[in-house]
Amino acid sequence: MSPRRVVITGTGVISPVGLDTATFWQSLLGGRSGVGPITFFDPSEHATQIAAEIPDFDPLNYMDRKEARRNDRFVQLALAASQEATRQAGLSSAQIPAERMGVIIGSGIGGFSTIFEQIQVLLEKGPSRVSPFTVPMMISDMAAGMISITYGAKGINYCTTSACASSAHAIGESFESIRRGIVDVMITGGSEASVVPMSIAAFNAARTLSCRNDEPERASRPFDAERDGFILGEGGAILVLEALESAQERGIPILAEMVGYGATADANHITAPAPGGAGAVQAMRLALAQAGLRPEDVDYLNAHGTSTLLNDIAETQAIKAVFGRHAPNLPISSTKSMVGHLLGAAGAMESIVCIETIRHGVIHPTTNYEHPDPECDLDYVPNQPRQADVRVALSNSLGFGGHNVSLIFSRYEE
């Protein structure tokens, strides 16, 4: 049996710049930053005192109080985003056999806030006071588990954890599950909620966060010569992937088609990318080969673009290696310039950016790009959105540990 075509029938976003896909998208086009002073705890002792929080997220708008109390914030964000995605895809009224619908949700850290809080309880009040819900709240697979329970999805169900590539892996593996005929529908994406003292302290110790505390909205500046690290963000992003024939039988509108997935390992270093972005080069080439596309067929690239020194240089080198003479003409933007780095949820949110770019024919800017870096010399769509006819879009996700994922989306055509 030849591989099946896979389309996207729903998206959902909970982000620092919007609690739904439409608001999120309009915020990006307007260059709105979600970065500000940390409010979740007192950050005064930390070198970094800013993050991309979602202060207006209220879980009680999406679930009852009991459910909210029994789920870590990262699960709450995933469940909230899944409501929008499944509603758009019409899954509530769809006659899809439970065994033909699956869930894969990526998270790099999982219930970090629960772990941090319950360790404090253990140390301050003793073992008898540790919550009985600690384990189900902290484990990274619980977002996938809760979405499966909520929608009665009895097909393939698990979590991908590969640092900043987690949700890109989740989407890629969901794509493959549908292509191979294992399931007909996949609820997939990622979620992360790790703006807690330990994560800020740990990333500061690794010297990866920006310390531009006096101007938070200008702190995340991918590819800019004065970048000094990434901004930690939080959020959830969910997509509904579906076999083309299933979507056609249901008569549901198709947002875009997914056509390529490439995944590799650097086998190089725990945090630094391989020289020249070699792993990213191979991931992009694998995705292009699977999609049957040439490099010049790609109209837009959503970069991993973290605003860290080594990543931005390595990714630029990788893009040049893959796209050659097309590279200088390829529009590139980094969503992280406005929402920060959502770690395990970044790939899913940036995949939705690619889908919205294809649908609306406009590319969101890379904000805060003010000082060109000679080693990052491509077209990063600086500071202003750009109208463009985008038929094919590629998204990169690169994670600590040397994980590389490239996903390709295209305009749906009969």
Q: How far apart are the first and last CA of the chain?
A: 20
- Selection from 335, 389, 359 nearest residue 167 by Cα: 335
For 64, residues 6+ apart whose C-beta sits below 8 A from its C-beta are: none
DSSP 30-71: TT----EE--SS--TTSS--EEB--TT--GGGTS-HHHHHTS
Q: Which of 169, 304, 364, 403 is catalytic?
A: 304
- Selection from 231, 258, 376 nearest residue 318 by Cα: 376
Q: Which of 164, 169, 364, 376 is catalytic?
A: 164
The identity of residue 76, as a single letter, is Q
Beta bridge partners of residue 239, listed in sequence order: 11, 188
| Residue 360 bears catalytic tag | no
| Buried-exposed string 111-122: b where 16+ CB fall within 10 A, e elsewhere | bbbbbbbbeeee
Q: How far apart are CA 172 and CA 275, in angstroms?
A: 25
Residue 153: which H helix or E strand, with range? none
Cα 267 to Cα 207, 261, 273: the distances in Å are 22, 19, 9
The identity of residue 170, as a single letter, is A
| Pair 231, 341: CB distance under 8 Å | yes
Question: Whose structure tokens read 């870590």?
Answer: 72
- Selection from 199, 192, 222 nearest residue 46 by Cα: 199
Q: Which of 341, 354, 376, 403 is catalytic?
A: 341
DSSP 5-27: PEEEEEEEEEBTTBSSHHHHHHH
Q: What angle do CA 356, 399, 195 make, to 5 degrees?
A: 80
The identity of residue 161, as a single letter, is T
Q: Tokens in use for 231? A: 């901004």
| Residue 164 bears catalytic tag | yes
Q: How far apart are CA 397 and CA 348, in angstroms?
A: 9
Q: How far apart are CA 71 and CA 136, in angstroms?
A: 8
Give the residue numbers annotated as catalytic, written as ranges: 164, 304, 341
